[in-house]
Amino acid sequence: MPGIQCKKGFNPSVINSNFDKRLLIEQIRYLETQHPLACDTEEPFSDFNVHRDFEDRLWLRAQCLVEQHGLSSLLGRAARLSRYVRTLVFVVAALLGALGSVYAITDSDTINIYWLLLVLLGFNLLSMLLWLTGISLNSEGLTSGMLARLTGWLPGYLKHRSQANDSANNKTSTQADRAWLHCQFSGAVGKWQLSKLSHQLWLTYLFTGLVFLVLLLMVRQYDFVWGTTLLSDSIFIKITDVLSMPLDSLGFATPSPELIHATRIGSLPPDAAQTLTAEHRTHWAQFLLGSLLCFGIAPRILLLGWSAMMCRRAKHRFTLDYYLPYYINLRQRLMPLASHGEIVDADSSPPTIAKPRVKTPAPHALPVDTLWVAVELGDNMHWPPASINKVSDLGQVVDRASLELVLQRLQGNKHPIVAVAVSSARSPDRGVQRTITGLMSNSAQRWLVLLKEHTDEPVSSTRLAAWYRLAETCNVPADHVITMIME
């Protein structure tokens, strides 16, 4: 039976975040979809491991596999490639910010004020509005845009690539990359990861544009102008007044309505030169820089902080799907104490429900005050076993009348702990699911017990997976699905 101890020289107590641990476990799962990985079997149920929960055992097993098979470089490839791509994208965003500032300067001596604001702030504000709308409506497309479509396309591309390439090493590395992409860029974690990346890119764009604009204003003297073909002058004056309100409170110098009107293209006779005083240039320069800081950079920093906080929260709440057949099979192998037991005689044993096959105690024991209910066991199984106290036994549900009787007894208990026993020989159906859901609807803790008549009674992986999926539907934790033997 495979264990979770690693060979000598490998320290299994490496400290990482829970998300990083689960990411590594999930990468191992993807790798083992191609071919199982052998792990050392050194005292699998020693005192060191018996009190660890299932996730800790998976984590130790994953570290053991990484050490034995030299998977460190392979599992980290996707993260390395991601860093390279991020660097490239940030460089492109910085270049676009610099080019935007240059493009908005109409000639060597003039800066078109509102065109520059439109280039640096207009698309940024539109992007923020779309992002806020996507967050409010929980729309992934609006939240992350092209980035979401790109990351959604990559796993499928990698899968096609792994199928097209016959190299076992390439298939293995591609599976590890797919697992990394799936964990990082899907679900709640992916939504906030992409949001963080989007805000960081826009901040890079805005900061580069701001720095480039400051450098130009420091070494060159520019006149500020604006123009329009369809809109009236009053609209631009009102827009400038609205934008100037928060800037005035922050201490930025802003242009007056007279100065705004005077800097309009064509406001002077054709033969007159349109020049500004040093004070007027300073007012326009501070207005531009203050607008970039106040309406572009500051909101992005706030949204980035919010996204980073939500991303940490999503990573903290990230869980593995322990109802998958892969984890179900591993649970049977790594934690037989938690998933197998024997009903023991109450006259010759201490008041415990499950007796492990070895002397060490089971890490997941049912509470003493558990209320037991059996559901349609059939004639081959006798209920209740002698070890279950008659006070704790609510009976067996075989028809509507017995179900109503059990539900009435449950109503007398406030938030009870309910263990529903079913026969592992049958496959779950919708009727059983409805019955179990009704029995557990008001319970504080839920257990699903799969009863076997004999130790060697086979339970197919398909049937076992079906019972675990039923447990998931009934909100029974995977750790609370146990197998017990009636003999």
3-state secondary structure of 334: helix
Phi-psi group of 193: left, alpha or beta (phi > 0 → left; psi -120 to 50 → alpha; rest → beta): alpha
Dihedral sign computed on CA atoms, order 214, 216, 220, 222: negative
Give the Cα-Cα-Cα angle 480, 435, 479 (nearest 5 degrees): 5
- pLDDT, residue 91, reads 93
The DSSP secondary-structure symbol of 276 reads: -
Q: What is the CATH number of domain 326-485?
A: 3.40.50
Buried b (16+ CB within 10 A) or exposed e, 120-156: bbeebeebbebbeebbeeeebebbbbebbeebbebbe
Residue 128 exposure: Cα atoms within 13 Å on the Cβ side: 18
299 HSE (CA, 13 A, CB side): 16
Residue 199 and residue 297 in contact, taking contact as beta carbons nearer than 8 Å? no
Q: Give phi and psi for 245, each to the nearest 5.
A: -60, -55
- How is residue 189 written in tokens? 């974690």
pLDDT of residue 167: 54
CA angle at residue 193 from 93 to 155, to 5 degrees?
95
What's the N-to-C CA distance of the chain in angstroms? 23
Q: What is the largest CA-CA distance in the chain?
A: 114
Cα 184–chain centre separation: 7
Q: Which amino acid is at 415?
A: H
What is the DSSP track for 202-232?
Answer: HHHHHHHHHHHHHHHHHHS--EEEB--SSS-
CB 58 within 8 A of CB 334: yes
CB within 8 Å of 146: residues ≥ 6 apart: none
Mean pLDDT, 10 residues at a time, the chain of 487 residues: 47 65 92 80 46 80 87 86 88 89 71 83 89 81 55 54 55 81 89 91 92 86 77 80 86 82 62 61 86 92 95 93 87 61 41 38 65 86 78 87 88 84 87 90 88 76 87 88 77
User: In whole angstroms, how large is the CA radius of gyration of the chain?
Assistant: 33
DSSP conformation class of 138: T
What pLDDT sits at residue 360? 33
* SS3 state at 409: helix
- pTM summary value: 0.76
Nearest to 262, CA basis, from 281, 276, 241: 276
pLDDT for residue 146: 55
Sign of CA dihedral 217, 218, 219, 222: positive
Domain ranges of the chain: 18-75, 77-317, 326-485
Question: What are 105's two structure tokens?
Answer: 């300067």
Using CA atoms, how far apart are residues 98 and 84, in angstroms rounded to an integer? 21
Q: Which tokens sit at 201?
A: 């890119």
CA 230 to chain centre: 48
Residue 430, amino acid? R
Nearest CA-CA partner of 424 in 456, 451, 396: 451
Count the residues in the chain. 487
**CA-wise closest residue to 64 among 112, 9, 116:** 9
- Tell me what pLDDT residue 242 has: 85
Residue whose C-alpha is closest to residue 425's, from 397, 456, 451, 386? 451
Asked whether the CA dihedral 51, 54, 59, 62 is positive or negative, the reply is positive
